[in-house]
Amino acid sequence: MTGTTLLLYLSVALIWGSTWIAITFQLGQVNPLISVIYRFALAAGLLFGWCWYRGYPLRLSLRQHHVLVLQGSFLFGFNYWLMYLAAQHVTSGLIAVIFSTIVFFNAFNGRLWLRMPIRPTVLLGGVVGLAGVMLLFSNELDALTLQDSAALGLGLALLSTLLASLGNIAAAHNTASGTSIMVINAWAMAYGTLALVATALLLGIPFTMNFSFSYLTALLYLTIPGSIITFAGYLRLIHLLGADKAAYMSMLVPVIALLISSLFEGYQWTLLAVLGLALILCGNWLALRRKGG
């Protein structure tokens, strides 16, 4: 991995880790599904405006639009909604553990749909990293009881992870076409937004709005750094590293979120959490080193 790629990788992980804090300012008055709609509708609008300003061609083939619908619905739509639903039944730590399995989903889906080779070092790094994430959230795993509500939450989180992985594979297909990543994300976020709007209308969820400073600030942060910038960087990483290696970031994001929490919310690091962090970093090295490619 070159220095530029490593800087991009760490930058995307840092921003995504901080979005965990921003999301907490959006919980409450507005239904989570509607908040996700606002986030990606605004992001899509800004991206279309940027593409028009820069003169990027927005006309794509019908075949490209078919794949963009899949990318948008899975990566910018239903996976977010399902993860919010899962959070109503299980803790964020358990969700982080489940979402870390996207490394394996991406490896196998990449093989199934794109004929990409399964790289053993990526899988080994994924196993080591997953063990680290489990240690990081060991207290929450110990407290888990598979009652109906918890089982539902874990199932929703797993389905969300599968959809996100399929969205990653669709994004890998789209970036390989040579189309501008900004154009790809503009269309995909628009399609993801439309899919969620249709879902909200079908379920009768009202489109309410919270005009408080904290909600609007969080919305802007989640839209611009948390969506436009990070997904542009992430799709670039998928193109450079492959969907399997890029997905390892899912294990770094909760670490960064906890580091931020320790600074601003008083999170206390335990010995098991520190050991978990060490395993995640070790797995990261295994997954991303050149020999793995």
Closest C-alpha to 246, from 113, 107, 116: 107
Residues in CB range of 174: below 8 A, 6 or more apart: 64, 67, 68, 71, 184, 188, 235
Distance CA 293, CA 290 (A): 6
The packing angle between helices 120-136 and 92-99, to 10°, is: 170
260-289 confidence digits (pLDDT tens) = 888 876 778 899 999 999 999 999 888 887
Please state the domain count of the chain: 1
Confidence of residue 293 (pLDDT cuts 50, 70, 90): very low
| pLDDT tens digits along 68-92 | 999 999 999 999 999 888 888 887 7
Question: Do 184 and 65 form a contact (C-beta atoms < 8 A)?
Answer: no
Task: Give the integer Cα–Cα distance in Å for 39 and 227.
Answer: 8
Domain that holds residue 224: 3-292
Please compute the mean of the pLDDT values over residues 147-168 and round it to a whole number. 90
